[in-house]
Structure 1
């Protein structure tokens, strides 16, 4: 029996996770369901009888890492989030797996299987508990983890959250702290991220290039490029009248990135 704690502030996400838990071949008991950083801090002042935590990162009242670092949590955590940029922080805590929303049951099953495998392979004795050995494993995890680029980006509205496929985004644009994405149908999506730097950490640099201070372009939607001025390149987008331009200090690097 695995005793788990769920930390998730979105009801649909909790329902999906609980459905996966019920479908898992081994028995899993849900100890509690928390929605805020404050509730996490309060929970661990009295209760610690938890084997595994399923945790979102951005909660209603802040980032859950605030709580885990303050508590010096040693319970293994499977992070489930829509944001790729926190993956390094996850493995700096007790994270053993990082699932990006939306995720499949197969990914969930594999993540829980990793916990079960780690637990069964670590003998418990007076000097070295399972959690202590998990901590030793996690100390080397950060060095071994490879960069995984995000496949989807979450877009939150006042009523719901939907997901854009990164591969279908033509370009990102930032203006006065507002970041938007334009998809292949020229539809504009206002994102929750505050800068292009955050977006750059989420996407594959072999696919996306920051052509100037405010625009990050997907190479798969470039129809043609042409000289705009001596040091600036004009970029025509497929099936669109949109023309983007490189900045003078990015042109040479952009041409090299394209291999021209």
Structure 2
């Protein structure tokens, strides 16, 4: 089986290659392409691959542009970090997708689905692109907070981490200021830029810049030390360690 990867993030491409090697050891990787234009040129002069793994958002635009210009016959498994609209788009079109950071179990499920298909699903690029563009979300850039009678706006870039304590959600800034938010951590997780923030556990969401130290801990977990945080037992569960390392490496 010949496989093509279209991915502009080197850590993500490297992880894909390793997962492919594990699940499809007899396959060959044609190559890894990192832009729309390079992909278009590649398809013009290379044989059709048996399977394509394709990131949706490349540095030079949405990868759907590739398939508008080139009639690609290969099955495609899209990869994306944006789950809310991806789920709707791909369910409507029976196209598979994997959320980033890629989980080995989800990867295997996608491969099993691909191998079990007797017929390639119809790829309606126009419909998927329209849903993607209509529902792609812009992440929150600031939060309204109240101090006494005053209402302030705190930039998301100023947030070191968010945490929950006695059912109250707090925002801690890089300057160690603390504010109460009218959001749950579950709500915040879907509103924050996943490239900048990671859900460490059910009580903490941390920015990349807030992480001071990382230590190995029992049962393959990680212990995180956050800047300006008195809590000393912030743990990343074993199930999240792989995704957390990918996030750090991304």
Return the TM-score normalized by structure 1. Answer: 0.48
Return the TM-score normalized by structure 2. Answer: 0.49
